[in-house]
C-alpha cells in the first residue's frame, strides 16, 4: 500500500516534472525541437487564429511556438518551469511580441476565469503532467464553448508489441519528463468536447494531433 495519498503523489510528481524541465531548459530546443517542431507548427496552423482572439498555450516551455502565432493574437503561455519561461520571455522580447503574457502555473489548476480563451493549445504536455484528466477538465473550463482546442502528444501505441515496450519503458521515460503509456482515450473521452479530427504527425507518425471543440 502506498504511503502517499493520490493528491500527495500528484504533488510529488508535479515537483519532479518541474525539476526535470528546469534542468532540461538549456538543451530542450536542440534536443527535442527537431523531432517535435513539425507537429507544433501544424497545431498552431490548425487553430486558424483570427485577429484579436485570445489564445492559451498550456506548457509553453521555451516559447518555440511564439514565432508561429499571428502577431495580432493575444497569447498567454503557462508553464511549471521558471527557467523554461525565462527563455520564452527572452524569445518573445527578441521577436518583438508585446501581446504575449507568460506565467508560471500548474496546468492542473489554471488561474483563469471560465470561458476566457478562444483557443487552447497543449503541445506535448498531456503525457507530462500528473492527473492528465484534471488538466483536460481545466482546459475545457477556460475555453469558451465553440472555441478550439488542439492537443499534440504521443499516446500508447495500438500495436501490441510496441505498446508492451512503451509500458515497460515508462518508468524510465518519466525520469526524463514524460510517460509513454498514456492512452489516447485520456483526451478523446474527456467530457465536454467534440472531436473534430485526429491526425498523425512528426517522425514516423508516432504522435497525434487532436483537434477538439468544447461543447
- pLDDT value of residue 208: 97
Residue 24, number of CB atoms within 10 A of its CB: 19
Helices (H), the chain: 6-24, 28-47, 82-95, 132-142, 160-173, 185-188
pLDDT tens track for 11-26: 777 777 778 778 877 8
What secondary structure letter does DSSP report for 22? H
Among 6-20, 127-141, 145-159, name the one with the lowest average pLDDT.
6-20
Whether 103 is in a domain gets the answer yes
Q: Tell me, yes or no, whether 182 lies in a domain.
A: yes
In the predicted model, what is the mean pLDDT of residues 161-177?
A: 72
DSSP 57-106: EET-TT-TTGGGS-TTSEEEEEES-HHHHHHHHHHHHHHT-TTEEEEE--
Residue 84 counted as domain residue? yes
Give pLDDT tens digits for 54-94: 999 999 999 999 999 998 899 999 999 999 999 999 999 99
Pairing relationship of beta strands 74-79 and 100-104 according to DSSP bridges? parallel
10 Å CB burial of residue 89 (0-12, 13-18, 19+) is middle
Which residues fall within 8 angstroms of residue 84, CB to CB, at 6 or more apart? 21, 22, 24, 25, 28, 60, 61, 62
Strand partners, 152: 123, 209
Interstrand relation of 207-214 and 143-153 (parallel, antiparallel or unpaired): antiparallel
Cα 71 off chain centre by:
21
Judge whether 109 lies within some domain.
yes
| Domain interval for residue 73 | 6-214
User: So what's the pLDDT on residue 137?
Assistant: 98
CB 99 within 8 A of CB 80: no
CATH number of domain containing 124: 3.40.50.150
Q: How many domains does the chain have?
A: 1
Q: Is residue 127 scored above 80 in pLDDT?
A: yes
Comparing C-alpha atoms, which of 184, 185, 211, 208 is closest to residue 196?
Answer: 211
> Above 70 in pLDDT, residue 51?
yes
Q: How many CA atoms lie within 13 A of 140 on its CB side?
A: 18
Rounded to 5°, the CA angle 75-78-84 comes to 110
**Residue 1's pLDDT band (cuts 50, 70, 90):** very low
1 in a structural domain: no
Amino acid at each position: 500500500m502506498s504511503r502517499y495519498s493520490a493528491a500527495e503523489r500528484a504533488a510529488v510528481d508535479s515537483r519532479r516534472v518541474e525539476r526535470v524541465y528546469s534542468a532540461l531548459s538549456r538543451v530542450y530546443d536542440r534536443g527535442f525541437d527537431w523531432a517535435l517542431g513539425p507537429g507544433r507548427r501544424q497545431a498552431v496552423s490548425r487553430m486558424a487564429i483570427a485577429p484579436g482572439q485570445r489564445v492559451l498555450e498550456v506548457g509553453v516551455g521555451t516559447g518555440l511556438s511564439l514565432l508561429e502565432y499571428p502577431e495580432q493574437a493575444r497569447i498567454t503561455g503557462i508553464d511549471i518551469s521558471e527557467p523554461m519561461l525565462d527563455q520564452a520571455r527572452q524569445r518573445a522580447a527578441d521577436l518583438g511580441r508585446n501581446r504575449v503574457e507568460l506565467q508560471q502555473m500548474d496546468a492542473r489548476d489554471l488561474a483563469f476565469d471560465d470561458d476566457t480563451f478562444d483557443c487552447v493549445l497543449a503541445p506535448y504536455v498531456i503525457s507530462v503532467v500528473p492527473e492528465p484528466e484534471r488538466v483536460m477538465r481545466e482546459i475545457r473550463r477556460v475555453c469558451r464553448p465553440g472555441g478550439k482546442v488542439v492537443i499534440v502528444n504521443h499516446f500508447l501505441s495500438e500495436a501490441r508489441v510496441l505498446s508492451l515496450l512503451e509500458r515497460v519503458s515508462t518508468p524510465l521515460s518519466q525520469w526524463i519528463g514524460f510517460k509513454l503509456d498514456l492512452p489516447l482515450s485520456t483526451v478523446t473521452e474527456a467530457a465536454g468536447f467534440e472531436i473534430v479530427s485526429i491526425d498523425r504527425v512528426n517522425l514516423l507518425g508516432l504522435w497525434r494531433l487532436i483537434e477538439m471543440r468544447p461543447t
